Structure 1
Amino acid sequence: MQLHDTPAGVLNGRRVLITRSADRARPLASLLSSLGAEPLVLPLIDFERATDQQALDAALDALVAGAFDWLVVSSITTVRVLVEKATERGTTPAALVPAGTRVATIGPSSRQTLEAVGIPVALAPVDIQSAEGLVDLWTAAPESVLLPQADIAAMALREGLAAKGAAVTAVVAYHTVDFPARPELRLAAELPPAVGSSIHSDIRELSPAQTRRELDGGTIDAVVAASPSAARRIAATLLPLGRCRFIAIGRPTAAEAAALGIPVAGTAKVPTPDGIVAALGSVFANEGTIR
């Protein structure tokens, strides 16, 4: 079922740069291709295992022992961590979460990914798919919460849960680094094919030099940034964008881009391929047929 409201043909022939690695870009690339666009990939950020594995393992031991009422998963990358740690322990991701612990996440993509690895989700926002949207769903104190996050995660989720009366145990689950991560530290756990795309062909990946030439030539119509860290990397490595439109996934990414002086042409209201396509469609529909 089509969930986006993109007018027919509006993305046909548009070239869209996705600043993620090919495996993480595949669901969006699949949808763009189905609508006649040409997806391109330029990985700007990558992920490495947490430096303090002892702290992460201790938190997961406590989780398995039933010490937490809630596990809050704020990104798909955290699911990769759970998959990797389960493999290390010779078990399944689902076995890390006892029956008495409920799981919350911030959007449909992470919910789908969690459920694909066997972890049911009890709570996820629908309208405002963000840290703030998740916190708003709790009307009573969520008691004890385990929050595994990136080393650069914003404080909004942790502080919001604490303000609701929760005892929050935050632990660094992974580090966000410039692409490429060091091979020996790269977080590379495979997720089930169900959360990927139906595309079987390779996505075209550009080098930084190729991307610079394409931007200077005006042949890339839009660039998609999935996080504030991606916006910072775009500001550091890709400016000027020329005629290329900047599309942000979520308000935090849009705010970071604006603070860096990058004009934001559109913001995806929901952090899903459909949400991103809807933002792209709105931008190009408003521009008419002028290229």
Structure 2
Amino acid sequence: MIGGYLTGRRVLVPRSGAWGERVRADLRSRGADAVVAPLIGSAPPRDTAARDRAFAALSSGRYEWLFVTSAATVEQLRQHRVEVPPTTRIGVVGRATARAIADAGWEVEFVPAGTASAATMITQWCAGRDPAATGRALVLRSDLAQAVVSDELEVRGFAVDVCIAYRTVGIDLPDGVADDLRSGVIDTVLLTSLSVGRELRRQVGELPESTLVASIGPGTTRDASALGFRVGHTARTQSIDALIAELDALVPQESA
């Protein structure tokens, strides 16, 4: 909506690809100047043979359940032309990942209620299920993600395989973008993960007090605060769409 808080603000979008373009379009529709400059990207895992075996097993229908904890994982599946068979049911960490799954043409069977987190997802999914009556599951994750989902499944007796689908790597900002962040020309920053926060701190350092740092959720806010950032707004539902909508509804005094 033109005329909201975001009108005229210059916003750093820290990921590119389909996600970045969708966020750019949303920001532009609200009158913001979106600067898409990725701070992190995906690289092949160190063991590509293991990844390829897992992807092939997934396509062949070996797994009853597939657990996906990030949209970046969905991008890897699409990039490698993995076909998730209709017999494989998909559990996701939250709405953003569910949207990425839907965009890929697959159906989501399970989305947790409440906070979007790996712990919330797997705790709710396990509740009331009999491991003996549940087929084998595959957990796809990055090299940096904690083994929350697979550990919980193993502890409760479920059959599970784990695949490191990709590595998260830092991407250097263009000099002009880094300068605009240091000077406050880019006056709003979207923080979407700990990895983004780490790269922002490494490459830019301190941000001006006038810069609004907006976090996608409470966990990211805690991580950002530990890195020394002053977070001005935290999304209530761990969703980039919600974060942007909430920012646009702010009044100027809330960012002061």
Same fold (TM over 0.5): yes
2:24 to 2, 17, 29: 29
Cα deviations by residue, 1:23-63 (Å, 9 ceiling, x for unpaired): 43111111111111111122111111223121112223333
* Counterpart residue number, 2:236: 269
Question: What is residue 100 of structure 1 aligned with on the other side?
Answer: 87
Which whole-Å CA distance do the structure 2 matches of 1:97 and 1:141 have between them? 24
Using the TM superposition, give the Cα deviation of residue 160 of structure 1 relative to its aligned residue in structure 2, in angstroms: 3.3
Aligned pairs for 1:99-178 (under 5 A) are: 99-138=86-125, 139=127, 140-141=129-130, 143=134, 144-178=136-170
Measured against aligned partners, the alpha-carbon deviations of 1:174-214 in whole angstroms (never above 9, x if no partner) come to 1111126xxxxxxxxxxxxxxxxxxxxxxxxxx54213332
Instruction: Quote the Cα distance in structure 2 between the aligned partners of 1:251 and 1:166.
Output: 29
CA distance change for structure 1 residues 289 and 244 in 2, over 3 Å: closer, same or farther? closer
Aligned to 2:101, the other structure's residue is in SS state helix
d(CA) in 1 for partners of 2:77, 2:31: 36
Given the superposition, is the C-alpha separation of residues 159 and 42 from structure 1 closer, same or farther in structure 2, using an over 3 Å criterion?
same
The answer as to whether partners of 1:106 and 1:125 remain within 8 angstroms in 2 is yes
| Alpha-carbon distance between aligned partners in 1 of 2:182 and 2:52, rounded to the nearest angstrom | 47
The 1:52/1:22 distance shift into structure 2, 3 A limit, reads closer
Number of residue equivalences = 250
Aligned partner letter, 2:16 = S
What secondary structure is seen at the aligned counterpart in 1 of 2:251? helix
- Structure 1 residues 69, 34: CA separation in 2 closer, same or farther (over 3 Å shift)? same
- How far the C-alpha of 1:106 sits from its partner, in A, is 1.5
Contact 1:150 1:172 in 2 (8 A): yes
How far is the alpha carbon of 1:110 from its aligned partner? 2.0
Q: How much has 1:286 moved relative to structure 2?
A: 5.7
When residues 158 and 252 of structure 1 are mapped into structure 2, their CA distance, relative to the original with a 3 A threshold, is: farther
Stretch deviating more after TM superposition (58-67 or 116-125): 58-67
In the alignment, structure 2 segments of 5+ residues that lack a partner are none
- Report the secondary structure of 1:54's partner residue: helix
2:166 aligns to what SS in structure 1? Answer: strand
Cα distance in structure 1, aligned partners of 2:76 and 2:166: 7
Counterpart residue type for residue 87 of structure 2: G
- Alpha-carbon distance in 2 for matches of 1:141, 1:250: 32
Distance 1:244 1:62, change over 3 A: same
**Contact 2:217/2:237, CA 8 A, preserved across alignment:** yes
Cα offset for 1:166? 2.3
Any unmatched runs of 5+ in structure 1? 1-5, 87-92, 181-206
Corresponding residue for 1:238?
204
1:148·1:172 contact (CA, 8 Å) conserved in 2?
Answer: yes
Deviation at 1:256, TM superposition (A): 1.4
The letter for the 2-side match of 1:29 is R
Whether 1:212 aligns to 2:178 is yes
* Structure 2 CA distance for partners of 1:122 and 1:56, relative to 1, 3 Å: same
Structure 1 moving runs of 4+ over 4 Å: none
Is the Cα–Cα contact under 8 Å of residues 67 and 139 in structure 2 kept in the other structure?
Answer: yes
Q: Is this contact kept in 2: 1:150–1:176, CA < 8 A?
A: yes
Q: Does the CA contact (< 8 Å) of 2:217 and 2:239 recur in 1?
A: no
Secondary structure, in 3 states, of the residue corresponding to 2:79? helix
Deviations 1:229-279 (A, max 9, x none): 111111111121012121111233212111111111111223434212134
Alignment-mate amino acid for residue 72 of structure 1:
F
- What is residue 191 of structure 1 aligned with on the other side? none
**Secondary structure of the equivalent of 2:137?**
strand
Q: Distance in 2 between matches of 1:269 and 1:288?
A: 16
Q: TM-score, normalised by structure 2?
A: 0.86
SS class of match (2:167) = strand
Higher relative contact order (CA 8 A, sep 6+): 1
